[in-house]
Chains A and B, each alone.
Chain A
Amino acid sequence: MTKIAIAIIVILIIISQTFFVVKEGQQALVFQLGKHERTIREPGLHIKIPFIQNVKILVNKVLAADARSADEYMTLDKKRLIVDTVSRWKIEDPLLFYQSVRDYQGAIARLNDIIFAKLRQEIGNHYFREFIREKREYIMTQVAVGTSEQAKRFGINVIDVRIKRVDLPEEVQASVFARMKAERERIAKRYRAEGDQLAREIRADANKKKEIILAEAYKQAQILRGEGDAKSTSTYAAAYTQDEEFYSFLKRLEVYTKVLKNDTAIMMRPDSNLLRYLQSPVGSAGTESSTGASSAK
């Protein structure tokens, strides 16, 4: 009974030492007494010589390498930048990978070193503006290509290197905010000034229209008045020329009535035409003309 049990256990141990499974997303290295024997890149059931050979399983997926921390870089125009990258890679040559960097952690450390150096070099060769805008893609491709070349030594295939973040150092950020503020203030001022300008134009236009309308009206009014004056003048002339002397007599009488007021003092001689009957019923030497009305203030 116990013999059977022991036999089963021994068989199980031998089986587990002989067969091994490489799953999807994995690859394996088989070592014989510490020496590389073969590389398995296909998933499935595999056989090895028990006890003599051992297996090292590695990942066969797309892996990520985040930069340890966002590092500071300097552009060609001496602007400082904080850049955070992420790269994707695969273990292309498991043996080389295992021999050179041992494991995932080691690989990431090496990769990040390479990327950092490459990126530093690329950013240092470009102006800030270029890097931010038009050449970002180009620069990243350059970095990826450069990294890929060096990473081959570690059996790593770099798929790409991407910039996750590009930020400005805090103190620079503050000055960017100040600039943005100034920029917006400028725009706001422009809008207000434009509003003022347009409003003034409209108002001036309105005033102009008003003045023109009024002037036109004045002109027409004057013409009308002139017509009235002319017509009445001719009418008067036609009538008064029938006896000009009588007209001037009548008109003067009218004028006296209007002109002589309470505060007018009149000196008259008793022998004036008006007063000639004042002292005698016969009348004094009636000088016809001497009405003697000389007015004084």
Chain B
Amino acid sequence: MDQFRPRDGNDNTVRELRKNVEEFQDHFLRFIKGRGIWLIIIALILLYLASGFYIVGPGERGVELLFGKYYGTTDPGPRYRLPWPFMSRTIVDISTVRRAEIGFRSERGRARSIPTESLMLTGDENIVDVQLFVQYLVKDPVKFLYGAEAPEQALRASAEVALRGVVGENDIDYTMTSGKLDIQHKIEEYLQELLTTYQTGLQVTQASLLVVDPPADVQQAFHDVVRALEDRERLIKEAEGFMEDVVPKAKGQAQQEIREAEAYRAQRVIRAEGDSKRFISLLEEYKKFPKITRERLYLESASEFLAPAKKYIMDQNANQVLPLLPLTGSVPQAPTNSQDTAPEKKGK
């Protein structure tokens, strides 16, 4: 029983609501039957006409169609066209530079390589890893909208075609080094040509090769070539250093030897002169008393040259080699046994 209680209350509210609705309908019908209907119709018509207003933002163009046929292009500002179904408009951004990435994708500021896109054959049957970055914008908004299906997709595909086509015409070394700019330029031209043929209405502003690298598998070998080149330079520099070191040293040594020889020459001459002078002086005196001078000179020398030597005095008559008197040490104090001593030496 309890659960049916609230139903009474509900009944009341429903009844009240119905009453209100009926009242509103009453008022409304009266309003419609009067001038009100026209007001609503006018309001609806105005609203309908107002739907033709639109705003073309800066850097945008509006393309208007009249019954599906191209009618005109509108510049930035508030514009008006006839409402549906007579006219329609599409707004195209023609100033924003759009970008396409071939061989990589930027993700949160980092480039992730896509090997299936970036690896390609070069003209000399090598494989190179290339990443291309294309910047473009809409040049012709009408063509962009109605010339080709999915124009931006067409640009991506065409960029790949151009990239591979141009790289395939060149050698890997040219592509990776001196030819990079040339290749970039050719890709840009080729791509633009394709885009024009395909009626995409797109204009390439820049095509740049971000990365032109050997594939990861052979990168080490390529780096080694660079290292080898540096090794070569280093070896040459070292050898040159060796030369810089050896030649001046040799020159120094040469000069030293020459100076020594010069010294020898001078010394020899001077000494000869000295010796000669001495001899001549001595000779002059000698000539005055030759016998005694000769004797003196001999004895003086003998005392000198016999002093250090071991001396044996032999028997006078027998010619035997038997030493009678071993005279050791200095002659003046020779200790002896049989024979008498004191052989004067310094005597004149």
A contacts, CB < 8 Å to B:
21-26, 42-45, 59, 61-64, 66, 86, 88, 128-129, 132-134, 136-137, 159-160, 162-168, 173-174, 176-177, 180-181, 183-185, 187-192, 194-196, 198-203, 205-207, 209-211, 213-214, 216-218, 220-225, 227-229, 231-233, 235-236, 238-240, 242-243, 246-247, 249-250, 253-254, 256-257, 259-271, 274-275, 277-279, 284
Q: Point out the residues of chain A lying under 8 angstroms from B119, CB to CB.
A: 167
**Separation of A233 and B164 alpha carbons in the complex (Å):** 91
Q: Point out the residues of chain A lying under 8 angstroms from B264, CB to CB.
A: 224-225, 228
Q: Point out the residues of chain A lying under 8 angstroms from B221, CB to CB.
A: 180-181, 184-185, 188
Q: Point out the residues of chain B lying under 8 angstroms from A277, CB to CB.
A: 343-344, 347
- B225 contacts the other chain (Cβ, under 8 Å)? yes
Q: Point out the residues of chain A lying under 8 angstroms from B70, CB to CB.
A: 24, 43
Which residues of B, 145-168, contact A by the 8 Å Cβ criterion? Answer: 145-150, 153-154, 157-158, 160-161, 164-165, 168
- B125 contacts the other chain (Cβ, under 8 Å)? yes
Q: Interface code B200-226, partner A: CB below 8 Å = 1, 0 otherwise?
A: 100000000000001101100110110
B19-27, B38-46, B73-81, B255-263 - interface stretch? B255-263
Q: Point out the residues of chain B lying under 8 angstroms from A250, CB to CB.
A: 279, 282, 297
Q: Point out the residues of chain A lying under 8 angstroms from B266, CB to CB.
A: 228
Q: Are B310 and A264 in contact (CB under 8 A)?
A: yes
Q: Are A203 and B239 in contact (CB under 8 A)?
A: yes
B contacts, CB < 8 Å to A:
65-70, 85, 119-121, 123, 125-127, 142, 145-150, 153-154, 157-158, 160-161, 164-165, 168-169, 172, 194, 197-200, 214-215, 217-218, 221-222, 224-225, 227-229, 231-236, 238-240, 242-243, 246-247, 249-251, 253-255, 257-258, 260-262, 264-269, 271-273, 275-277, 279-280, 282-283, 286-287, 294, 297-299, 301-302, 304-306, 308-314, 316, 321, 323, 340, 343-344, 347
**Separation of A194 and B231 alpha carbons in the complex (Å):** 10
Q: Identify 20 new A-B residue pairs, CB closer than 8 A, beyond the known A214-B253, A235-B275, A270-B314.
A: A23-B146, A43-B65, A61-B149, A62-B199, A64-B150, A64-B157, A159-B197, A164-B160, A164-B164, A184-B225, A189-B228, A195-B231, A202-B239, A213-B254, A216-B254, A228-B265, A260-B306, A267-B314, A268-B313, A278-B313
Q: Are A257 and B233 in contact (CB under 8 A)?
A: no
CB distance from A193 to the nearest CB of B (A): 9
Q: Point out the residues of chain A lying under 8 angstroms from B218, CB to CB.
A: 177, 180-181, 184
**Separation of A43 and B69 alpha carbons in the complex (Å):** 5
Q: Point out the residues of chain B lying under 8 angstroms from A61, CB to CB.
A: 146-149, 199
B237 to A, closest residue via Cβ: A199
Q: Point out the residues of chain B lying under 8 angstroms from A267, CB to CB.
A: 311-314, 321, 323
**Separation of A257 and B301 alpha carbons in the complex (Å):** 7
Q: Can you offer 25 A-B residue contacts whose CB atoms are under 8 A?
A: A23-B68, A23-B69, A24-B142, A42-B69, A61-B147, A62-B147, A133-B123, A137-B165, A164-B164, A177-B215, A180-B127, A188-B225, A192-B235, A205-B243, A213-B250, A217-B257, A221-B257, A221-B258, A225-B261, A228-B264, A236-B275, A239-B276, A253-B298, A266-B311, A277-B344
Q: Are B240 and A217 in contact (CB under 8 A)?
A: no
Q: Are A253 and B250 in contact (CB under 8 A)?
A: no
Q: Point out the residues of chain B lying under 8 angstroms from A63, CB to CB.
A: 148-149
CB distance from A59 to the nearest CB of B (A): 7
Q: Are B225 and A236 in contact (CB under 8 A)?
A: no
Q: Point out the residues of chain B lying under 8 angstroms from A214, CB to CB.
A: 250, 253-254, 257
Q: Which of B142, B150, B265, B275 contacts A227 (CB 8 A)?
A: B265
Q: Point out the residues of chain A lying under 8 angstroms from B267, CB to CB.
A: 228
Q: Point out the residues of chain A lying under 8 angstroms from B68, CB to CB.
A: 21-24, 26, 43-45
Q: Which of A62, A240, A271 contacts B148 (CB 8 A)?
A: A62
B311 to A, closest residue via Cβ: A266
The 4 closest A-B pairs by CB, nearest first: A228-B265, A195-B232, A217-B254, A232-B272
Q: Are B309 and A265 in contact (CB under 8 A)?
A: yes
Q: Which of A21, A64, A136, A279 contacts B67 (CB 8 A)?
A: A21
**Separation of A223 and B260 alpha carbons in the complex (Å):** 12
**Separation of A246 and B243 alpha carbons in the complex (Å):** 58
**Separation of A33 and B222 alpha carbons in the complex (Å):** 71
Q: Are A194 and B168 in contact (CB under 8 A)?
A: no
Known: A62-B149, A132-B125, A184-B221. A163 touches B164 (CB 8 A): yes
B217 to A, closest residue via Cβ: A177
Q: Point out the residues of chain A lying under 8 angstroms from B276, CB to CB.
A: 235-236, 238-240
CB distance from B259 to the nearest CB of A (A): 9
CB distance from A153 to the nearest CB of B (A): 22
**Separation of A271 and B218 alpha carbons in the complex (Å):** 105
B326 to A, closest residue via Cβ: A265
Known: A25-B145, A261-B308. A224 touches B301 (CB 8 A): no
**Separation of A195 and B225 alpha carbons in the complex (Å):** 13
Q: Are B217 and A195 in contact (CB under 8 A)?
A: no
**Separation of A128 and B127 alpha carbons in the complex (Å):** 15
Q: Report which residue of B242, B305, B314 has the largest number of chain A beta carbons within 10 angstroms of its beta carbon.
A: B305
Q: Which of B222, B235, B305, B312 contacts A199 (CB 8 A)?
A: B235
Q: Which of A202, A218, A231, A243 contacts B265 (CB 8 A)?
A: A231
Q: Are A228 and B147 in contact (CB under 8 A)?
A: no
Q: Are A225 and B265 in contact (CB under 8 A)?
A: yes
Q: Point out the residues of chain B lying under 8 angstroms from A233, CB to CB.
A: 272
Q: Report which residue of B119, B225, B238 has the largest number of chain A beta carbons within 10 angstroms of its beta carbon.
A: B225
